[in-house]
């Protein structure tokens, strides 16, 4: 039996290198905490729920005709969206016998209680925090890159052949929804030609002379309502931001982007008076799971919208599912379980411009 947890084949106990958990150092991993910074989160959402959007009045204000004016019946514009919420689960197991000859043996109980790992340091300080991080990354992966029709490159899709595409097929995410609305003509699209280069090196080189133009074209393509929004924002991949900085540095008097660190790699600055937010988690997903082995699939992506327009819906009362940890007296297995339902939604397709 193999237990959830560390790959102990790479860590040898009692060899003078690692003798206790306090000697372990976490490798740098992109964190997905506080994803409410990127998405407008709705709780208690059920599949098929309707979300009503309220717009504005149309034209009002006619010439004064004195007494007995012409009474209007103008209506406020409305629109309705439907949530597509699907259930996910995480089920992991741990057995004390799988780790008794590893450095974890120092954290195990003794005697009969050795089987119960629910409160030991290994579970609480190593396994659970890393699993919670994986769940946060799952939310970002599905919310933005979910595609119910996802397939591997060999089968005609964009997922790497070494990756199981069902990790993406839970529900359609933000990018899939925007791709669809571009085809329908409701969301403006700006082409980033560097994405079409045949190799990773060529992609990264090409963006250095294209990013600024793409960003300017996105701003120009936005409708007047978006341009007036108080919470307008542009989200970009790290690769796009790197190309933008390189282009500004090469063609101006140095980069004019003053970055502010938000948390865990996410940074923001201001470009032409608009918040520009870098989302390196997008790059991690694209580079790890999407591409044909020679080039990445659309490594340069940007969404110009408002901070309220991209939504994440969950079924639970809490924003994110909690882990349930239990010990089975019969099987002597320790279980970690979590489940919820989730889905993403672009609230107003017209209040977005996408570059790819």
Is 60 a member of any domain? no
> Left (φ > 0), alpha (ψ -120 to 50) or beta: where does 46 sit?
beta
Is 235 a member of any domain? yes
Is 11 a member of any domain? no
Alpha-carbon separation of residue 146 from 2, 49, 356 (angstroms)? 29, 19, 17
Residue 67: predicted pLDDT? 83
Report the number of distinct structural domains present in the chain. Answer: 1
Residue 252: predicted pLDDT? 65
Long-range contacts of 348-351 (CB under 8 A, 24+ apart): 348/53, 348/79, 348/309, 349/177, 349/178, 349/181, 349/184, 349/186, 349/187, 350/186, 350/187, 350/223, 350/225, 350/226, 351/223, 351/225, 351/226, 351/229, 351/305, 351/306, 351/309
Instruction: State which residues form the domain around 184.
Output: 31-41+82-355
Could you read off the pLDDT tens digit of each residue along the chain, which spans 356 residues?
Answer: 566 654 545 545 554 444 444 443 444 444 444 677 789 999 899 998 887 665 565 666 667 777 877 777 666 666 678 899 999 998 989 898 888 887 788 788 889 899 998 888 888 888 888 888 888 889 999 999 999 999 999 999 999 999 999 999 999 999 999 999 999 999 999 999 999 999 999 999 999 999 999 999 999 999 999 999 999 999 999 999 999 999 988 876 555 677 776 655 678 899 999 999 999 999 999 999 999 999 999 999 999 999 999 999 999 877 677 888 899 999 999 998 989 999 999 999 999 999 99
Q: What are 106's two structure tokens? A: 């120092």
Residue 279: predicted pLDDT? 93
Is 63 a member of any domain? no
Is 308 a member of any domain? yes
Alpha-carbon separation of residue 282 from 216, 289, 325 (angstroms)? 21, 11, 30
- What span, in angstroms and rounded, lies between the C-alpha atoms of 289 and 296? 9
Residue 170: predicted pLDDT? 96
Q: What are 216's two structure tokens? A: 């300017």
Q: What are 69's two structure tokens? A: 């004016």
Which residues fall within 8 angstroms of residue 325, CB to CB, at 6 or more apart?
118, 123, 128, 334, 335, 336
Q: Burial of 68 by CB count in 10 Å (0-12 exposed, 13-18 middle, 19+ buried)?
A: exposed
Cβ–Cβ under 8 Å, residues 308 and 231? yes
Residue 122: predicted pLDDT? 82
Is 330 a member of any domain? yes
Residue 60: predicted pLDDT? 64
Is 212 a member of any domain? yes
Is 8 a member of any domain? no
Q: What is the torsional sign of CA 183, 185, 190, 191?
A: positive
């Amino acid at each position: 039996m193999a237990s959830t947890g560390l790959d102990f084949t790479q860590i040898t106990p009692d060899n003078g290198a690692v003798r206790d958990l306090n000697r372990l150092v976490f490798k740098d991993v992109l964190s997905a905490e506080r994803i409410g910074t990127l998405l407008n989160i709705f709780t208690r959402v059920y599949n098929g729920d309707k979300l009503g959007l309220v717009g504005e009045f149309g034209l009002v204000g006619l010439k004064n005709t004195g007494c007995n004016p012409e009474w209007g019946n103008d209506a406020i514009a409305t629109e309705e969206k439907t949530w597509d919420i699907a259930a996910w689960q995480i089920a992991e197991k741990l057995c004390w016998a799988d780790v008794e000859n590893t450095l974890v043996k120092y954290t195990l109980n003794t005697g009969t209680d050795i089987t119960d790992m629910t409160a030991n340091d290994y579970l609480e300080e190593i396994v659970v925090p890393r699993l919670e991080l994986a769940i946060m990354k799952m939310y970002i992966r599905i919310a933005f890159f979910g595609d119910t029709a996802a397939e591997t490159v060999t089968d005609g899709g964009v997922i790497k052949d070494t990756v199981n595409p069902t990790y993406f097929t839970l529900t359609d995410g933000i990018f899939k929804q925007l791709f669809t609305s571009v085809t329908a003509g409701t969301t403006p699209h700006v082409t980033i030609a560097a994405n079409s280069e045949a190799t990773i090196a060529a992609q990264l080189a090409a963006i250095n002379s294209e990013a600024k133009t793409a960003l300017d074209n996105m701003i120009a393509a936005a409708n007047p309502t978006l341009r007036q929004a108080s919470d307008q924002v542009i989200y970009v991949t790290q690769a796009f931001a790197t190309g933008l900085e390189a282009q500004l540095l090469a063609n101006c008097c140095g980069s004019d982007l003053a970055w502010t660190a938000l948390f865990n790699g996410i940074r923001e600055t201001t470009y032409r008076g608009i918040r520009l937010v870098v989302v390196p988690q997008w790059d991690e997903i694209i580079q790890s799971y999407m591409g044909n082995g020679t080039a990445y699939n659309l490594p340069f992506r940007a969404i110009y919208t408002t901070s309220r327009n991209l939504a994440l819906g969950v079924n639970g009362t809490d924003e994110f599912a909690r882990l349930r940890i239990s010990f089975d007296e019969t099987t002597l297995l320790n279980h970690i379980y979590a489940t919820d339902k989730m889905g993403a939604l672009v609230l107003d397709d017209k209040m977005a411009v996408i570059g790819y």
